[in-house]
């Protein structure tokens, strides 16, 4: 069995192992990390040898930590990362390189249609009818997108939304509200087979699926990191938030979408969103204006150039071919707008 895991902000860890009588055997840990002293790798292998195959990543990490010499130095490697790689081997997880990734980058679409396309494309990936897909959104109009479980009246000021012509829609994933203006926001979705995140906790899957964009931002000179549970941050502040939804059917799939602030109008956002004091205190700041730092200021690049560089970075890492939404998929999405995402019943399902 073979498992791989790239430690967020670190290096690749590879674990090969067998299972005999419900125990790990012939464990071999490798990767492009740095480890001193050399014999510490033998301690890691020995710590995992004989461990119950039912043991979770935390338990495996504890065995490794207990076995390492006190003088051990790990760079780009953690005991937790080795444990996760082992669990991914046991779960028969797939890797990014196992797939032919497809890019969908269409012209501007209505907010409700974006919600529907996320559901349809991810369901098609789950059913095996669509390749894993990176979809970059273009917005036809300004919008507020609330999470699946958020209260409409608690999150959105209807007067502010009406003043600025903002459409309010509800997505299928959890998480917080997104304030969107077409040329001030960069949004993308990953629709991936569930096996890509096998062996990862829900929280770890966020970091794993965000890792490529951290690399893309790094290529543009931005030092960014994953901030649990679902934010991407820099020294200047938060620049993006992510949300996920597991989709059943076939082999299963995961929808992971991210909204990045390119050039946010903080004053307008505060008129439209009701951002409570509790949320601000949770983020360790006194002002909502300081919570989000636009990419325009940090990169000095046009929005289109940032998107082009992100796509190029993904292509260089994992491969990417041009794709499109099929006629059948678009028909399904338009029907979902009519029956679900464009209805008051769905949008206000949590009043």
> What is the structure's pLDDT at 280?
42
Lowest-confidence region among 5-14, 58-67, 142-151, 273-282: 273-282
* Residue-level pLDDT at 126: 97
Compute the average pLDDT of residues 235-250. 93
Distance CA 242, CA 14 (A): 27
pLDDT in tens, 80-126: 999 999 999 999 999 999 999 999 999 999 999 999 999 999 999 99
> In the structure encoding, which two tokens stand for residue 321, read together?
């071919």
Residue 11 contacts residue 76 (beta carbons within 8 Å): yes
Averaged pLDDT score across all residues of the chain: 94
Quickly tell me which residue has 């919600």 as its tokens: 115
> What would the two tokens of residue 25 be?
């055997």
Which of residues 27 and 285 earns the better pLDDT score? 27
In the beta sheet, which residues pair with residue 134?
Answer: 103, 190
Average pLDDT value for residue range 271-295: 62
Average pLDDT over residues 32-42: 96
Those residues whose C-beta lies under 8 Å from the C-beta of residue 50, and which sit 6 or more positions away, are 23, 24, 25
Mapped onto helix, strand or coil, the DSSP state of residue 65 is helix
Instruction: Identify the CA nearest to 249 among candidates 120, 127, 108.
Output: 127
| Cα distance between residue 187 and residue 176, in whole Å | 15
Q: How far is CA 242 from the centre of its chain?
A: 6
**CA–CA separation, 255 vs 243, rounded Å?**
8
If you ran DSSP here, which 8-state letter would residue 259 be given?
A: E
The band of 8, judged by pLDDT with boundaries at 50, 70 and 90, is: confident
Cα separation, 101 vs 192, in Å, equals: 9
Whether pLDDT at 297 is above 90: yes
Q: What's the Cα-to-Cα distance from 273 to each of 258, 261, 264, 326, rounded to whole Å?
A: 19, 15, 13, 35
Label the pairing between strands 178-180 and 231-234: unpaired
Say which range, 138-142, 214-218, 235-239, has the weakest mean pLDDT. 235-239
Residue 287 has pLDDT above 60, yes or no: no
Q: How confident is the model at residue 278 (pLDDT cuts 50, 70, 90)?
A: very low
Across 241-269, average pLDDT: 95
Handedness of CA 206, 211, 216, 217 (dihedral sign): positive
Residue 275 is predicted with a pLDDT of: 82
- Indicate the pLDDT class of residue 277, thresholds 50, 70 and 90: very low
pLDDT at 286: 47
Q: Return the pLDDT at 84.
A: 96
Average pLDDT over residues 22-41: 97
* Radius of gyration, CA atoms only, the chain: 22
Strand pairing report for 167-170 and 34-36: unpaired
Residue 289 confidence (pLDDT) above 60: no
- The mean per-residue pLDDT over the stretch 206-221 comes to 95
Q: Which of 88-92, 148-152, 227-231 has the lowest mean pLDDT?
A: 227-231
Task: Say if CB 193 and CB 142 are below 8 A apart.
Answer: no
Q: What is the pLDDT of residue 292?
A: 75
pLDDT 10s digits, 301-341: 999 999 999 999 999 999 999 999 999 999 999 999 999 99
Give the pLDDT band (50/70/90) at residue 282: very low
Burial zone of 179 (CB within 10 Å; 0-12 exposed, 13-18 middle, 19+ buried): buried
The DSSP call for residue 59 is H
Lowest mean pLDDT among 43-47, 54-58, 158-162, 275-279: 275-279
User: 195 Cβ partners below 8 Å, 6+ apart?
Assistant: 91, 92, 93, 94, 251, 252
Report the distance separating Cα 285 and Cα 293, nearest Å: 13
With a cut of 90, say whether residue 46 has pLDDT above it.
yes
Q: Longest C-alpha distance within the chain, in Å?
A: 66
| Stretch among 56-70, 107-121, 271-285 having the lowest mean pLDDT | 271-285
């Amino acid at each position: 069995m073979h498992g791989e895991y790239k430690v967020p902000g670190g290096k690749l860890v590879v674990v090969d192992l067998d299972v005999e009588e419900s125990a790990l055997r012939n464990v071999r840990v490798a990767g492009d990390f740095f480890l001193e002293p050399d014999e510490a790798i033998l301690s890691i292998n020995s710590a995992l040898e004989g461990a119950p195959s039912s043991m979770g990543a935390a338990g495996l990490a504890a065995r490794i930590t207990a076995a390492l010499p006190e003088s051990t130095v790990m760079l780009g490697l953690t005991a937790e990362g080795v444990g996760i790689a082992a669990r991914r081997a046991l779960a028969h997880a797939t890797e990014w390189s196992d797939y032919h990734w497809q890019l969908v980058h269409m012209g501007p679409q209505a907010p409700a249609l974006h919600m529907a396309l996320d559901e349809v494309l991810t369901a098609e990936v789950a059913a095996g009818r669509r390749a894993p897909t990176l979809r970059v959104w273009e917005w036809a109009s300004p919008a507020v997108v609330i999470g699946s479980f958020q209260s409409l009246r608690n999150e959105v000021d209807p007067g502010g939304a009406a003043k600025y012509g903002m459409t309010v829609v509800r997505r299928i994933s959890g998480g917080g509200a997104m304030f969107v203006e077409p040329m001030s926001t960069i949004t993308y979705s990953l629709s991936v087979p569930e096996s890509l995140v096998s062996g990862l906790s829900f929280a770890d899957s966020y970091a794993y699926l965000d890792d490529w964009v951290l690399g893309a931002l790094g290529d543009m000179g931005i030092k960014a990191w994953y901030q649990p549970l679902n934010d991407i941050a820099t020294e200047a502040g938060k620049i993006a938030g992510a949300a996920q939804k597991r989709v059943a059917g076939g082999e299963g799939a995961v929808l992971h979408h991210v909204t990045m602030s390119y050039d946010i109008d903080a004053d307008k956002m505060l008129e439209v969103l009701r951002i409570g004091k509790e949320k601000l205190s949770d983020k360790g700041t006194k002002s909502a204006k300081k919570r989000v730092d636009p990419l325009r200021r940090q990169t000095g690049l046009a929005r289109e150039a940032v998107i082009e560089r992100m796509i190029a970075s993904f292509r260089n890492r994992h491969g990417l071919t041009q794709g499109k939404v099929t006629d059948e998929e678009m028909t399904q999405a338009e029907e979902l707008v009519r029956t679900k995402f464009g209805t008051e019943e769905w949008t206000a399902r949590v009043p």
